Amino acid sequence: MKTNKLLYGAAYYDEYLPVDRIETDMEMMKKAGMNVIRIAESTWSTWEPQDGVFDFTHLHRMLSCAKKHGIQVIVGTPSYAVPTWLVRKYPDIITETHDGPGRYGHRQNMDIAHPMYLKHAERIIRRLMEEVLPYDHVIGFQLDNETKSYDTCSAYAQKKFVDYVRTLFHDDLTLLNEAWGLDYWSNRINAWEDFPDVRGTINASLGAEYHKFQRKLVSEFLAWQCAIVQEYARPDQFITQNFDYDWRGYSFGLQPEVDQWEAAKPLTVAGCDIYHPSAQDLTGKEIAFGGAIARSLKKDNYLVLETEAQGCHGWLSYPGQLRLQAFSHLANGANCVEYWHWHSIHNAIESYWKGVLSHNLKENATYRETCRIGSDFAEYGTHLVNLKKHCPTAILLDNVSLDALQWFPIKDGPAYNDVFRWVFDALYEMNVECDILSAEDDIDLFSQYKLLITPALYSVSDRLTNALKDYVRAGGVLLSTFKTAVADRMLKIYHDDLPHGLTEVFGMTYDQFTDAVRVGLRANPKTAGNTAHASHTIDMTESVNSVSEQDAYPCIHNWMELLLPDDAETLALYDHPHWGDCAAITGNRFGQGYAAYLGCYTDADVLKKLLNLLCEKAEIAREEAAYPLIVKRGINDLQKEIIYYFNYSEEPQETIYHGADARVLLVGHETADSDGAAASANTDSNETPTVLVKDGDRISLSCWDFLILEEV
């Protein structure tokens, strides 16, 4: 979705404040250049203090004051935290999960399959929409908040699941038992009324299908809310959702509880919440992968509806980093940056998840930096809004494969999102920008990319393997990692050669695997340095230690598949006294393309060497710079290329610019070179000083600095 300007602001909660200061807050926001707030998503019990009793005083105060100060508003539906009176009337609205019954107090612990929850949620949404109708500065609506199924295992949800399964298997229990292998341990279901409570299952097919069904509940719930909101929304108002990510104390990977591609279908625009470490731990990786997923949901620009201002303990940004982070979001295709939240809360569990303002509600260093960002967005927004990305590489993600590695984990090894981040982070550090594709929804898009990567794609359909085969045959370059093409979409392991349906493509198979204990890699002696017999091998001299050395640190961890090449080249062998004849990495020409298989979990430097080889084969142009100097590119509304340079480190960084003549649009630190890029100064026709950067010029960035160029 295109926007006519960059949106910049924060979540705002008049109802949480200890004093009446709404005028002061709006004046401070306006001074900071903020032009949007998000309200209302958190306070059902404020809007409806008792059953059928409504009080929208705070809502109208916020809407009226925002209008007075020229600030636009995104209104959130308040369905993600239920009021006490609703739980008193219907105690089972607090859902049962795999861990047992819940208790009131926490948010997002209700049963989204409960008919009375849905009835009352619809009523408050409709009343809220009616109250909002007169305000023309409301630009859009956010459905719920970071919605999930909350692991509902209620009687309502399980009944819906049985109905879903009956439809899935055409009411045929024979098909069900065969597909899920329920003869094992006498788990066979011989009558629908005997269908067991899903919480006790030891069958991965049944358990993973229930998890898939829970994701389906989320998609249906958001589509249901979207239909209600659409009844009231104007054509110019958008509808979004603030999708979040796997959480490991910060945003980490693909959200396991939501099929975000499916859930995003009814939305106007994708939204997301991205949180990440800052200060000495700021890398930009979470901003990049979160943005890549959000951008890929609708194949369009997206909204960052929540990110940190001061954030939780240890996330306080160094001076200048907040600005670096804001432009990092734009460089990935965001059209909106909103902080959670404006003011630090004075009570309850998130008291120390600090907002723009601290608890004294006065101007501080964070606020002053937001003023700088707001000024930049206003001045340069027309050049930076609606940035279009054209990435040569894509990573294929899959919730079913994520489920599989939860059911069948690698001992002490990487989970699915670790494998995803292992690949994504390596590309990021190499400055190879990538899109994210869904294994369910995006099969027809493979041909748009020169390089396609499938990290731990455990579960595949024949349609998907045929699409991968066609992609390589037509000239694409494919990299698949260990645990690819093992089982069908019900997680039943294929009984043919692995990787299923792709042995011809990879020119190899395997039938054994084991833990990697003190295992390294070595070059294939038959092809090393012999280009007559191999198109490439991987130079292991700097990155791999031999396990025969007493103090060697092996570069293979946790998992190794013993690959058996047929037509494939052996790009690397295991360095091990007993597995040393087995291939670890293979590559194979197939049709017009090339397919590599990585059978082990390696150090990042080994992975980067393999990726570099594949980028060469795919003819992907590489940046000269590498992490911590990150380069992002895109095309703006003026059809000019925008190039961002970010230094995510404490040390100054330099690189050489390659490309068409460009002008310096914006420099990060005041202490940057006077010309911003060690390039020659020129003058445009209006005598306005313009710094031009030409091919071969040096780019210099100080610590935690950035530079934005625009093609002339």
Residue 503 has pLDDT above 70, yes or no: yes
Give pLDDT tens digits for 69-109. 999 999 999 999 999 999 999 999 999 999 999 999 888 89
pLDDT digits 0-9 by tens, 408-421: 999 999 999 999 99
In 3D space, the residue among 247, 267, 264 whose CA is nearest the CA of residue 255 turns out to be: 247
Q: What whole-number distance in Å separates Cα of residue 599 and Cα of residue 561?
A: 5
pLDDT over 90 at 554, yes or no:
no
Q: What share of the chain is helix, strand, coil (3-state, %, to 5)?
A: 30, 25, 45
Flag whether pLDDT at 604 surpasses 70. Answer: yes
pLDDT attached to residue 526: 79
Decide which of 369 and 681 is more confident.
Answer: 369
Q: Of all residues in the chain, what percent carry a pLDDT higher than 90?
A: 91
CA neighbor of 626 nearest in space, from 434, 327, 426: 426
Average pLDDT, the chain: 93
Q: What would the pLDDT profile of 180-233 be if each residue is shown by its tens digit?
A: 999 999 999 999 999 999 999 999 999 999 999 999 999 999 999 999 999 999
Q: What is the mean pLDDT of residues 648-669?
A: 95
Digit-coded pLDDT (tens) for 427-443 = 999 999 999 999 999 99
Confidence of residue 525 (pLDDT cuts 50, 70, 90): confident
Please answer whether residues 149 and 112 qualify as being in contact, where contact means their C-beta atoms are separated by less than 8 angstroms: yes
Residue 710 has what pLDDT? 98
Residue 141 pLDDT greater than 70, yes or no = yes
Instruction: Please report which confidence band the pLDDT of residue 675 belongs to, taking 50, 70 and 90 as the band edges.
Output: very low
Cα distance between residue 426 and residue 47, in whole Å: 47
Mean pLDDT of 362-378: 98
CB contact burial 368-377 (16+ within 10 A = b; e otherwise): ebbeebbebb
Report phi then psi at 324, rounded to 5: -55, -45
Spatial CA neighbour of 75 closest among 132, 123, 24, 141: 141
DSSP states of 435-488: EEEETTT-GGGGGG-SEEEETT--B--HHHHHHHHHHHHTT-EEEEESS-S-B-
pTM: 0.95
Token output for 112: 């989204």
Percent of the chain with pLDDT over 70: 93
Is residue 435 a contact partner of residue 389, using CB atoms and an 8 Å limit?
A: yes
* pLDDT (tens digit per residue) in 379-390: 999 999 999 999
Residue 423: pLDDT band (50, 70, 90) is very high
Residue 528 has a pLDDT of 57
- Structure confidence by residue, pLDDT tens digits, 19-76: 999 999 999 999 999 999 999 999 999 999 999 999 999 999 999 999 999 999 999 9
Count of positions (residues) in the chain: 712
Which pLDDT score is estimated for 532?
46
Write the DSSP assignment of 626-658 as a string of letters.
Answer: -TTEEEEEEE-TTS-EEEEEEE-SSS-EEEE--
Helix (H, G, I), strand (E, B) or coil at 427: helix
- pLDDT value at residue 537: 60
Residue with tokens 């909101």: 229
The yes-or-no verdict on residue 531 having pLDDT over 70 is: no
Average pLDDT over residues 597-622: 97
Residue of 575, 531, 711 lying closest to 636 (CA atoms): 711
For the four alpha carbons of 293, 294, 297 and 301, in that order, the dihedral sign comes to: negative
Whether the predicted pLDDT of 484 surpasses 90: yes
In 3D space, the residue among 524, 525, 579 whose CA is nearest the CA of residue 554 turns out to be 579
